[in-house]
Chains A and B, each alone.
Chain A
Amino acid sequence: MSEIPKYIGRSIDVLAFRGGQRAGDVLLEQSLADQFSTGEICTGLQKLAQRFILALLTERGSVKYAPTYGTDFMIALRQGRVHNEADMLATFALSEQDAAALLVDEESSTDPDDERYRTAELAAVTVVPGFANLTIELRSQAADGTAEFILPIPIVV
């Protein structure tokens, strides 16, 4: 079934983390377009996911005219305050609260449930010097098991 009808009545965003699938591990690419594609648009869970990632990975104070946007997550990593999985769990827990506040603040009750933030948990974490692998379970306000991942669709220019 085509994905296009699923976009009807929804608001869209540009896909910033490209390559996502309904299932399986995929290495996402942070880009808006490449030599093969003029980019994609997304909606639903994908929008929520990239909003969460943007909020989590933006250093608070780094955006000149939005000084309160972002979290201290990357600051903690950059400053070497995370040495092991326990540190990562603690840091993520603190940052998730900040990100959650930002995301909820952006939402309204009329937004689709699958675009509204509920929780994000660190399902798995591996910390080695120079690298960190995080598996995050993100939940929307949609009842568990009811939200459908709507695939991004390409923009034709």
Chain B
Amino acid sequence: MAIAVQSLADLDADDVEQAFAFAKQLVLEKQPNIDTKRGVINQLVLGLDAILGAAQQTNIDLLRQSQSLQAIENNPTLADDDVVNAVISNYRLTRRASTQAAGEVTIVLSQLLAVTIPQGSVFEAAGQQYTVDAAYAARTAAGNVLNDTDRLIQQIDVDQFAFTVNVTAVTAGSDAVLAKDTQLIPLSPPTSFLRSFAANDFTGGVNAQTNSDLTALLQEGLAARAYSNRVTIPSTIKTADSAIYPMVTTDFPNIEDISIVGYGDAEMIRDQHWLFPLSGGGRTDLYLRSQQSTQAVSLVKTATLIDILTDGGVWQFSIARDDAPGFYEVSKILVRGADPVETGFAVTEDIRGLDLTGDDVYVPDLETVMEGVYSRYQASTIRFLDTSTPTAGLSINSSTQDYDVTAVTMPLVKPVQEFLGDRGVRNPAGDILVKAAIPCFLSLNFELQRRRTDSTVDEASIKSNLAAYVNTLGFPGRLYASALHRIVDEALPDSIDAGPIDLFGRIRRPDGADRFIRDSSVLIIPDEPEYFVSGRTVIFVLNTTNISITTNNIDVPAV
């Protein structure tokens, strides 16, 4: 039973009193000659019956509350999950269960040595544990790699040899999602172990939907699965059937948020592709936030030396449209095999272009490069200054070298574009372009003032809660420091207080420029529709690594 009063001592006294009065009245009407006002029947029969009656009524109230959408919306925390699940199923919604984060871990050895990583081996990082998915055998020669769990050890540097294994978080939820290059510590290191780190951003690791989340989705649940308006389009995407549309993945139902810009919106520029720059309609830009945070994608790119400067060589590589569809930026470039903790080389030029080739999928109307930035049609040429590779003996435009490249992306841009571009889905009267939501990469910085030196605070928990809050805001347009203060204050003991929070945001505009915003009370997304930037298109992205907390001990005069 989903709902049950666990203890008769937990009932509300008013409820018992009401049930008592009700029982007395019922008995009095049925048997007027029984003394229901006082005495043995009153106390020992009706009194006890009232307690049971109140318990039953409490259950009925809980059940009624859980089955009423109005009651659930008014107070989702009181409604029983199982009953709410049953109710929302009537509205074609299913509660998303929490899932475990999973990803690849690179293990670096000090020598070329065949080792085995047993299934279930435990790695730890950021207070979370991860177990190895299978028994992996690291092989020293390609000829020995015979099945999926055999991994070839590759030399990545002098006396450094690496291979990867797949791991899954022990605990479900978003707290276990690791960023690329995060160090993991094995509880039982293999022979010649040097280090291990996340090869990519971990995927999965979503929290179960709360009743509040579900009630917010009721409109989508009820909405027709049709390409029609801002309610039905997300509903169409999230409930897409992979059996009919092969591009649909299991992540579609978990899409975090979608903002749709269309006719009449200042950010809609594509519907002005006529002789006169007037909006003609028939175009839709869909800004996708497929998951709470961004995702780093590892690429191996062969770069060509294009110039030699005094402090190094300028190298260039291309990122094709399918390498990292809709990627935001390149966050790190390392010589192939270098230690991922190194800073890497700075990007000096990021030249975006469009790749509209292919006739198997409908291609939306794109006139300028900026219109297609962060869409699956963008391609890019990246130039950077390699300050560590000697250029002596190298030839411009012919010398090449492999690099480990990390691109920051918002997943699902490509499959959602393909799904919405499918002839069976798209609106016959117009086209749709799917773009990753424009990012405002956020940093937070604040101090904790500690009056007692023995007071402690769980900074990791605060950071995690702050990131979870910011990354589930959808397209809020503005971010208030007071909301963040509430989260911080909840985690602080009485003897520790937080100072003002410095909110610093970097909006990477589609034209490639960084737009910085900073405040200690509220961050407001600027209105720059000519660059597609507004509260409708920009999301705040906060990683825990970008939250800085400084704890200061303060002396308070003795009183």
Interface residues of A (CB under 8 A from B): 7, 10-16, 32, 43, 47, 50-51, 54, 63-66, 69, 103, 106-108
Contact = CB atoms under 8 A, between A and B. Distances in A.
B35 A12 contact: yes
Contacts of A63: 43, 47
18 contacts: A7-B33, A11-B34, A11-B35, A12-B33, A12-B34, A13-B42, A14-B39, A14-B45, A32-B40, A47-B35, A51-B38, A51-B39, A63-B47, A64-B9, A66-B43, A103-B38, A106-B37, A108-B37
Interface stretch (B11-19, B115-123, B331-339): B11-19
B50 A106 contact: no
A77 to B, nearest CB: 21
Nearest to A107: B38
B13 A65 contact: yes
The 3 closest A-B pairs by CB, nearest first: A106-B38, A11-B35, A13-B39
A43 B44 CA distance: 17
A11 B33 contact: yes
A92 to B, nearest CB: 21
Q: Which of A13, A16, A103 has the most CB of B within 10 A?
A: A13
Given A51-B39, A65-B11, A16 B33 contact: no
A6 to B, nearest CB: 13
B50 A50 contact: no
Contacts of B51: 64-65
A54 B40 contact: yes
Contacts of A13: 34-35, 39-42
Q: Name the prevailing secondary structure of the B interface residues.
A: helix
A106 B39 CA distance: 9
Indicate the member of B9, B16, B20, B43 with the most A CB atoms within 10 Å. B43
B396 to A, nearest CB: 89
B164 to A, nearest CB: 62
B185 to A, nearest CB: 53
A66 B41 CA distance: 15
Contacts of A64: 8-9, 51
A43 B9 CA distance: 33
Nearest to B44: A16
Contacts of B40: 13-16, 32, 50, 54
A138 B547 CA distance: 78
Nearest to B13: A65
Contacts of A65: 11, 13, 16-17, 20, 47, 50-51
Contacts of A103: 38
A63 B44 CA distance: 11
Given A13-B42, A16-B40, A47-B39, 19 more contacts: A7-B33, A10-B33, A11-B32, A11-B33, A13-B35, A13-B39, A13-B40, A13-B41, A16-B44, A32-B40, A43-B35, A54-B39, A64-B9, A65-B16, A65-B51, A66-B43, A66-B47, A69-B43, A106-B37
Given A11-B34, A13-B34, A13-B35, A54 B43 contact: yes
B39 A50 contact: yes
A10 B35 CA distance: 9
A54 B39 CA distance: 8
Contacts of B34: 11-13
Contacts of B42: 13
Nearest to A102: B38
B347 to A, nearest CB: 71
A148 B8 CA distance: 42
A51 B16 CA distance: 22
Nearest to B51: A65
Contacts of B35: 11-13, 43, 47
A63 B9 CA distance: 11
Interface in B9-66: 9, 11, 13, 16-17, 20, 32-35, 37-45, 47, 50-51
A14 B39 CA distance: 8
A106 B35 CA distance: 11
Which residue of B13, B35, B45 has the most chain A CB atoms within 10 A of its CB atom? B35
Nearest to B16: A65
A118 B35 CA distance: 19
B266 to A, nearest CB: 63
Most buried by A among B17, B40, B41, B47: B40
A65 B13 CA distance: 6
B33 to A, nearest CB: 6
A96 to B, nearest CB: 17
A12 B31 CA distance: 10
Contacts of B32: 11
Nearest to B19: A65
A14 B36 CA distance: 11
A126 to B, nearest CB: 28
Contacts of B11: 65
Interface centre among B33, B38, B51 (most CB of A within 10 A): B38
A132 B161 CA distance: 91
A127 B34 CA distance: 38
A88 B32 CA distance: 40
